[in-house]
Structure 1
Amino acid sequence: MNTHSEHLDVIVIGGGAAGLSAALMLGRSRRRTLVVDSGLPRNRFTTHMHGVLGHEGIDPAELLRKGREELAAYDVGIRSGRVARLDESEEGVSVLLEDGERLAARIAIVATGVTDDLPDIPGLAERWGATVLHCPYCHGWEVRDRRIGVLTTSPLGMHQAQLIRQWSDDVVVFTAGLGQIEEADERRLLARGITLVPDPVVEVVGEGDQVTAVRTADGSTTEVGAIFTAGALRPHDGFLTHLGLERTDTPVGSFLAVDATGKTSSDRIWAVGNVSNPMANVPISMSAGTMAGSFVNATLVTDDFDRAASGTAPVDFWQERYAGSDRIWSGKVNTVLGDIAADLEPGTALDLGSGEGADVIWLAQHGWQATGIDISANAVSRGKEAARAAGLAEERARFVVSDLSDPAVLDRGYDLVTASFFHSPVELPRTAILRRAADLVNPGGHLLITSHAAAPPWADAAAHEHRFLDAKEELAELDLSEDAWDTVVLEHRHRAVTSPSGEPATLEDAVVLLRRLSS
């Protein structure tokens, strides 16, 4: 089973008008968003879309094509696939695709729509979306003034029968689907010149996608130029029914219950479009998606501030991390640092986030006058102890306890400033620290940053909300003057390791080596 290596902000399940509208708002809000789409929108059977301001008469497939193009400008991903299961997790939601891939995000927006299960009548489904129709607001104008048949499938057909009369004076209602029609209802239909046919429909006759007649059980044929009917609506929500979310029973079926923003009874799941509103047409679905995308972003904004306000302070976190008796790291120099520094002329070096001191000790043993700086006094204590055990004098391997955002405690410039895997699971101004550290590099000296380009392959994606940068992004984040710095190395390197379960694995490291040209 594959696991998505990046923990997303939002997964949008369904790439129709509702899902793409939600994704557009999220992309514009700079949220890491992925759309999972089966490519089977409800309106795929028709070639013209109506009632959508600014898009009157276009093919609905064209709307979705343009929508996908617009999402690309905001780095919203679109992945073909079908969802097998949606679960809530400690970090948000977990999505299992039918191909076995598992995705993780903080919130899911379900926009999977419905299927119209039509009556099993020969000739009906073949003309669905052309001259067999369901919504007069969507298609009534195009068949106006024809002889229009209304094939009722339930007592709700009474409403449709009355509604169709607005588009034509010549309406035929096949009433068998209404059940026992009340005398008052019959009089009401007849009062506006509607023809009633009581016998059940057994066949829809026509040429190509054009309806020409309806044949009933008594053997008679009634000519019509179009048919309106209503299939049974089947929402595509089977992948989450096990969650027991609240539902709303409507005359056309049971649907996910949502509030005005589209939120379900789960704080981590929204539902928009026909999957929660069976009456929603394209503009209503787009509006619902836009609303949901906006409120999902607002929810995540609140979460971000809540986490920052209540989270553990960095110094406390790293003090606790180094509080035990066991060594945290391997005690060996980081591979990239060892490879690159071996080819540099030894001088003064500064190691950011020095931890237990392995890199500082290696540098000192290879002729450098090395200083390690770390936020944790416990880590610095371990570094000093390891340096003494290696027989290194303090002036050769020095360690400083400091808030890493304040390099003013350091009293010199350095020929090499290095930061290896300078990541923190708690809030830390990483980019600001690295930029300040760059100011400490002497002219002709080097800045070396080695970082994770992706989460470990064995990691649960839900545990890695942090977005790892590739080498080019690391360089862009530093925002250093091209006139003052020369890029020496900008690449990814792969490193063989052993996973926690003892299996061989490969990690991907991003490497940025810069040389300072001027002060």
Structure 2
Amino acid sequence: MTPPLPWDAIVIGGGAAGLSAAQMLGRSRRRTLVIDAGRPRNRFATHMHGILGHDGLDPADLLAKGRVEVERYGVEVRTGSVETVKDEGDTIAVTLDGTATMDSTVEHTRAIVFATGITDVLPDVPGLAERWGTTVAHCPYCHGWEVRDRRIGVLVAHAGQVHLAYMVRQLSDSVMVFAQDPGLVDQSERERLAARGVQVIDSAVTGLHGTAAGSRVATAPDLTHVTTADGATHQVDAIFTAGVPHPHDHALNPLGLKRTDGPGTSVIATELDGATSHPRVWAAGNVVNPMESVPMAASAGAVAGARVNAFLVTEDFDIALGSPDMDPSAFWEGRYADSERSWSGSVNPTLASAVADLPPGSVLDLGCGEGADVIWFARQGWDARGLDISPTAIARARAAAADAGAEASFEVTDLAGWQPAQAYDLVTASFFHSPVELPRTEVLTRASAAVKPGGHLLLVTHVAPPPWAEPEWTRHHTFLSARQEADALGLDADEWDEVRVEEVEREVTDPDGRPATLADGVVLMRRR
């Protein structure tokens, strides 16, 4: 069974970093899937700042606009999460949870951008989490202006968080530092803070109090005071603190990526362009840099997306450079010999429709495969013959014809060197596409020469690759519209009439039993 066509890239995470990566890939015409759990880090806030042209915009609105933009470039966005990521050589297997998939639980891709973000593990203080994103914040650049000149507290729960007090002192003359442990603020820091009038409270905060609060509340500050372990009450309008960042990177554990110490945690190690220690995996945004704001994460995602496309471009050319060395006979024989049966055994309905009005005569089918179309012709009263390069395919065609009681002939033939020995009322070539080198134009030119006066030449083609086609089968072939196929034949208009040049859709079932729609090109020419 032919596996589904891998994605060029899967972007895991649909925040600012992930969507920016997806936009770069979509604009590069890369087949891209975004998997988004719908839980961005800044979902608790109703506005964001420091984003030129979008100052004050609701973060949810930015992501909604971003989804519309990437989908405009053909990027697919699904809601769900990723359970695990595994290396399978030329592709990566991404196992999705049930909400992210339709009928399958695994998607394959040539490259990944991991942009899943982090969770801020906040100090365990009553009233703190409920106000996160409103009157409790972590970034002075993102939220500081809105609380300027107010009474600001800085809750220091871990080493290194005192720097927030230096930052917010620029915003207000009324700043208090609450040390959950007195040892978290050393003497030199106390002296520096005191020099600018910042008071240090050496009693742990035990509760935040004020009007009712909840995530994504866009009202005025709802914090009036905090209580401390010594029983004191301190009037504040806003609290700045920093949670411990918890990267959402467990799905990458099977890859054994290199890690590095980030701010307060261990993160996946990346180069400046987001490249990880795995050649097909990039990471961007807060999952690797918890300190990045929205525009920084978006920039990192855009860089990672561009670098993934550059990697794929190089790989495409490397593969193309090697493809002429593939032997067509060995390839097609292996294609048939490695499977019990490759095709359905039924006539293609597009071909049957195209010849429905033609009187039976002699017909030659080029690249006949396992012979289903030839057998159908024979059963309709045609003198039918099929040619194919694979001995296994021809053997199956002969056996199928005998089983059907159809008088049809088949011959193993390399069409690259084929010269027609007789003329036919109809010459057909259905889905005459090849992932290995084939002088397609020359073969079709010779096929047109094998048509009798008054006879027909019929091409049935793939306008685009079937969605389940293996990438190595399709990336070396240019798929043409029906009009382009007709023009490429270069037939003399004084000698040939166009009977039918169009594209038709047909409903099929893919190798996994799922419904799909294919677009076929039909070129039917009549020799005068």
Normalising by structure 2, we get a TM-score of: 0.80
Relative distance call for 1:335 and 1:211 in structure 2 (3 A) is: same
Match for residue 418 of structure 1?
428
Relative distance call for 1:392 and 1:514 in structure 2 (3 A) is: same
CA contact (8 A) 1:94 1:105 kept: yes
For 1:476 and 1:204, the matched residues in 2 are separated by 71
CA contact (8 A) 1:486 1:516 kept: yes
CA contact (8 A) 1:350 1:371 kept: yes
Q: Deviations over 1:18-39 (max 9, x none)?
A: 0000000000111000000011
Match for residue 243 of structure 2?
231
For 2:329 and 2:268, the matched residues in 1 are separated by 44
Match for residue 186 of structure 2?
182
For 1:115 and 1:44, the matched residues in 2 are separated by 11
Alignment-mate amino acid for residue 227 of structure 1: I
Relative distance call for 1:146 and 1:518 in structure 2 (3 A) is: farther
Relative distance call for 1:60 and 1:473 in structure 2 (3 A) is: farther
Relative distance call for 1:162 and 1:261 in structure 2 (3 A) is: same
Match for residue 287 of structure 1?
299
CA RMSD of aligned residues (A): 4.2
My pick for the range that moved more, 225-234 or 440-449, is 440-449
Q: How many angstroms does 1:225 deviate by?
A: 1.2
Q: How many angstroms does 1:178 deviate by?
A: 6.0
Q: How many angstroms does 1:135 deviate by?
A: 0.4
CA contact (8 A) 1:493 1:510 kept: no
My pick for the range that moved more, 283-292 or 440-449, is 440-449
Alignment-mate amino acid for residue 187 of structure 1: E
Q: How many angstroms does 1:290 deviate by?
A: 0.6
Q: How many angstroms does 1:365 deviate by?
A: 6.7
Match for residue 98 of structure 1?
97
Q: Deviations over 1:76-115 (max 9, x none)?
A: 0001111111111123211111216111111111100001
CA contact (8 A) 1:434 1:478 kept: no
Relative distance call for 1:82 and 1:138 in structure 2 (3 A) is: same
Q: How many angstroms does 1:279 deviate by?
A: 1.1
For 1:388 and 1:44, the matched residues in 2 are separated by 65
Q: How many angstroms does 1:256 deviate by?
A: 0.6
Match for residue 33 of structure 2?
34
For 1:67 and 1:230, the matched residues in 2 are separated by 28
CA contact (8 A) 1:336 1:450 kept: no
For 2:483 and 2:15, the matched residues in 1 are separated by 35
Q: How many angstroms does 1:310 deviate by?
A: 2.2
Match for residue 212 of structure 1?
224
Aligned length: 496
Match for residue 160 of structure 1?
164
Q: How many angstroms does 1:153 deviate by?
A: 1.4
Name the SS of the counterpart of 2:111 in structure 1. Answer: strand
Match for residue 252 of structure 1?
264
Match for residue 72 of structure 2?
73
Alignment-mate amino acid for residue 331 of structure 2: W
Match for residue 313 of structure 1?
326
Match for residue 194 of structure 1?
198
Normalising by structure 1, we get a TM-score of: 0.81
Q: Which of 366, 371, 375 pairs up with 1:352?
A: 366
For 1:194 and 1:506, the matched residues in 2 are separated by 67
Q: How many angstroms does 1:306 deviate by?
A: 1.2
Q: Which of 120, 135, 141 pairs up with 2:145?
A: 141
What is the aligned-residue identity percentage?
A: 44
Q: Which of 421, 441, 458 pairs up with 1:447?
A: 458
Match for residue 53 of structure 1?
52
Q: How many angstroms does 1:211 deviate by?
A: 1.2
Alignment-mate amino acid for residue 234 of structure 1: H
Q: How many angstroms does 1:182 deviate by?
A: 2.1
For 1:180 and 1:505, the matched residues in 2 are separated by 60
For 2:263 and 2:514, the matched residues in 1 are separated by 55
Relative distance call for 1:450 and 1:203 in structure 2 (3 A) is: same
Relative distance call for 1:336 and 1:453 in structure 2 (3 A) is: farther
Gap runs ≥5 in structure 2 = 99-103, 214-221, 489-496
Q: Which of 306, 309, 321 pairs up with 1:297?
A: 309
Alignment-mate amino acid for residue 322 of structure 2: S
Match for residue 217 of structure 2?
none
Match for residue 275 of structure 2?
263
CA contact (8 A) 1:7 1:466 kept: no
Q: How many angstroms does 1:354 deviate by?
A: 2.5
Gap runs ≥5 in structure 1 = none
Q: Deviations over 1:109-129 (max 9, x none)?
A: 110000111111111111111
Name the SS of the counterpart of 2:34 in structure 1. Answer: strand
Name the SS of the counterpart of 1:207 in structure 2. Answer: coil
Match for residue 136 of structure 2?
132
Relative distance call for 1:438 and 1:218 in structure 2 (3 A) is: farther
Match for residue 12 of structure 1?
11
CA contact (8 A) 1:48 1:60 kept: yes
For 1:6 and 1:65, the matched residues in 2 are separated by 28
For 2:391 and 2:309, the matched residues in 1 are separated by 39
Match for residue 240 of structure 1?
252
For 2:72 and 2:283, the matched residues in 1 are separated by 25
Name the SS of the counterpart of 1:211 in structure 2. Answer: coil
Alignment-mate amino acid for residue 258 of structure 1: T
Q: Deviations over 1:37-65 (max 9, x none)?
A: 01111111111111011111111111111
Name the SS of the counterpart of 1:204 in structure 2. Answer: strand
Q: How many angstroms does 1:72 deviate by?
A: 1.6
CA contact (8 A) 2:336 2:390 kept: no
